[in-house]
A and B are shown apart, each in its own frame.
Chain A
Amino acid sequence: MGTEDFNKDLITYLYDEMSTEERQQFEIAMENNPELKREFEELQEMRKGLAQIRDKEVMEPFFLWGKNGAASLGNLFKRRSLMMFRPFIAVAASLVIVLIIGYLTNFSINYKDKSLYIGFNNENTQQEGMFTQEEVAQLVNQEIAKNNAYIFSKLSETENSFDSRFAALESSQKMPDIPSYLDRDVVTRKELDVFLSNVRSNNLKVLKTYLESSSAQQQDYFQAVLTEFSDYVETQREEDLRLIRRSLINLQETQQTQKEETDQILASILTTVNNQEN
């Protein structure tokens, strides 16, 4: 008997497919051949090892049987081709989850003026259109400097204007001619009175002209100041209104976002409750 035959007989004996007579013959052969017996024991040991793999319980999927063939719903959803992309799908799903969480928590990262701002709910981030304390101080200082320059230029203009008007006034108002009798050594009382009266009336005229001119100038100045103040108030009002409008829009957007989040949470709760009921 060759080795191959021994091997086949060994397997047949191992799996109990020999007739009684064959079995007896093989057992005698095994008793006389320790090598064969050892091999038998090894294979038997191997069988014990294989017996450790037990059947698994499984739920059969839902099949659709039809005239045009059959299909399994499980097959439709668990194609190997899809499973092949499972790692990519997992990565994409993780990214989507991160993005959703980031959106819901208002997570933001900003890089501005060599500074990186990371935060939730925009509390730690610098929003568009907002200024830091230093920037506000700088802006205020710039505006004050501009305003001072403007006021000084206006004052200077006014001063120049006054000077020119005053000069014009002075030149237009000639001193009364000195009467010839003042050249004499003796002047009568009457002549002196007349002279003084002329001087006084002349002075009065100059003062009156000056006051009128000054009053008109002041009136012009105040009018200009009032106009500018009115413009400033109007501009400020428009700016305030714009700020209020922007705040209202922000408030409206925040409310809308909160409403959407609440809707999502409610929908999630409803789905969970429905699933539990089913």
Chain B
Amino acid sequence: MAETLRDIALYHSECLVEKSQKGDNHAFGKLVGLWFKRIYNVALKYFGEHDLAMEVTQRTFIAVYNNLDSIKEVKSFKYWLYKVAINQCHEEERRQKRRTWFSIFQSDDAKRMEEVNFQPEKEFQQKETEEIMGSILKTLPEEQKVVIIMKEYEGMKFREIAETLGISENTAKSRLYYGLKSLRKTIENSGLNLQYNY
């Protein structure tokens, strides 16, 4: 049976999890090295802010380390890891909302989003498409945003997304559909004419 690099990486992760559960900190360090970039990029797309993404990624791996024993099926480590990361994102989102009193010092991204919503087309054209897309993605409802990130950037199957989030495949598809439609609507309402680089 031909194995893809992805399968090899997953198998390697499972071995590292088993070793980590036996108290091998070196193995856990390797596991972090293997997944850190992926989880960071999930968080980065979720928040669109490096500091927050780093914070969430670090919290995720600390939570993983502290709960290694609760993993019964090492094969489902990947889903479990994404679940922890998404939970950390939600928690951080809630923390951010609690800090709304501090809104006078809003982040650059928040300001950028205001511009996306209210500034004319000329303003947009000067910005990078990537930056604008990231800002628009951030504005989606959490449920839709998470599914888009998992499908579009993490390349997960609908079955895997459903397993990770504890929802049905149809729900995952529905969230993705409405998420994409919502993104398109935001872009149309903003009068953006994005030029894509392939």
Stretch from B51-59, B70-78, B79-87 contacting the other chain? B51-59
Q: Does A42 contact B (CB under 8 A)?
A: yes
B9 interface residue per 8 A CB criterion: no
Query: Nearest-CB distance from A59 to chain B (Å)?
Result: 9
**A55-B177 in contact (CB<8A):** no
Q: Are A53 and B134 in contact (CB under 8 A)?
A: yes
Contact A78 B174 (CB under 8 A): no
Q: Is A164 an interface residue (CB 8 A)?
A: no
Pick from A46, A49, A58: contact of B36, CB below 8 A: A58
- Residue B191 is within 8 A (CB to CB) of chain A in the complex: no
Contacts of A72 in B (CB 8 A): 58, 61-62
Chain A residues with CB under 8 Å of B152's CB are 47, 50-51
Q: B24 → chain A, closest Cβ, in Å?
A: 10
- Which of A48, A61, A74 interacts with B196 by CB under 8 Å? A48
* Listed residue (A17, A54, A70) with the most chain B CB atoms within 10 angstroms of its CB: A70
Does the CB pair B62–A52 fall under 8 Å? no
Which A residues lie within 8 Å of B55 (CB)?
Answer: 75, 78, 80
Instruction: Give the one of A11, A45, A53, A84 with max B CB within 10 A.
Output: A53
A51 to B30, CA, bound (A): 29
A65 touches B130 (CB 8 A): no
Q: Kindly state whether residue A189 has any CB partner on chain B within 8 Å.
A: no
**Of the 9-residue stretches A2-10, A214-222, A241-249, which lies at the interface with chain B?**
A2-10
| Choice from B65, B148, B173 contacting A70 with Cβ under 8 Å | B65
CA A114 to CA B139, docked complex, whole Å: 59
Report the nearest A residue to B33, measured CB to CB: A60
One of B11-19, B111-119, B180-188 at the interface: B180-188
Give the distance to chain A from B190, nearest Cβ to Cβ, in Å: 12
B 32-62 contacts with A by CB, 8 A: 32-33, 36-37, 40-41, 44-45, 50-52, 54-55, 57-59, 61-62
Which B residues are CB-close (under 8 A) to A11? Answer: 173, 176-177
Contacts of B61 in A (CB 8 A): 63, 70, 72
Interface residues on B, range: 35 or more
Hey, which chain A residues are within 8 Å of B120, CB to CB? Answer: none
A53 pairs with B133, CB closer than 8 A: yes
* Given contacts A12-B158, A50-B152, A53-B137, A75 and B58 within 8 Å (CB-CB): yes
Q: Are B58 and A55 in contact (CB under 8 A)?
A: no
Residues of A within 8 A of B151 (CB): 15
Point out the residues of chain B lying under 8 angstroms from A50, CB to CB. Answer: 133, 137, 148, 152-153, 183
What residues of chain A lie closer than 8 Å to B177, measured between beta carbons? 7-8, 10-11, 43
Asked whether any CB of chain B lies closer than 8 Å to the CB of A184, the reply is: no
B54 touches A8 (CB 8 A): no
Complex contact B130–A52 (CB within 8 A):
yes
Chain A hits for B33, CB < 8 A:
60
Measured CB to CB, the nearest residue on chain B to A87 is B105
Q: Roughly how many angstroms separate A111 CA and B58 CA in the complex, as a whole number?
A: 55
Find the A residue at minimum CB distance from B99: A84
Question: Would you call B97 an interface residue if the criterion is a C-beta within 8 Å of the partner chain's C-beta atoms?
Answer: no
- Which of B33, B157, B183 is packed against the most chain A CB atoms within 10 Å? B183
> Across the interface, which residues of A come within 8 angstroms of B130, CB to CB?
52-54
Q: How far is the CA of A69 from the CA of B130 in the complex (A)?
A: 38
Q: Does A174 lie at the interface of the complex (its beta carbon under 8 Å from any beta carbon of B)?
A: no
A8 to B153, Cβ gap below 8 A? no
Distance in Å: Cβ of A94 to nearest Cβ of chain B: 15
Residues on B with beta carbons closer than 8 Å to the beta carbon of A80: 51-52, 55, 92, 95
B126 on the A face (CB < 8 A): no
Contact yes or no, B129 A52, CB < 8 A: yes
Cβ of B167 within 8 Å of any chain A Cβ, yes or no, is: no
A69→B65 contact, CB < 8 A? yes
B: residues with CB less than 8 A from A are 25, 28-29, 32-33, 36-37, 40-41, 44-45, 50-52, 54-55, 57-59, 61-62, 65-66, 92, 95, 99, 102, 105, 129-130, 133-134, 137, 148, 151-153, 157-158, 170, 173-174, 176-177, 180-181, 183-184, 187, 194, 196-198
**Interface positions of A (Cβ within 8 A of B):** 4, 7-8, 10-12, 15, 17, 42-43, 45-58, 60-61, 63, 65, 69-72, 74-75, 78, 80, 83-84, 86-87
13 more CB-based (< 8 A) A-B contacts, given A15-B151, A52-B194:
A17-B157, A17-B158, A43-B184, A49-B129, A50-B152, A52-B196, A58-B54, A63-B32, A63-B61, A71-B62, A74-B54, A84-B105, A87-B105
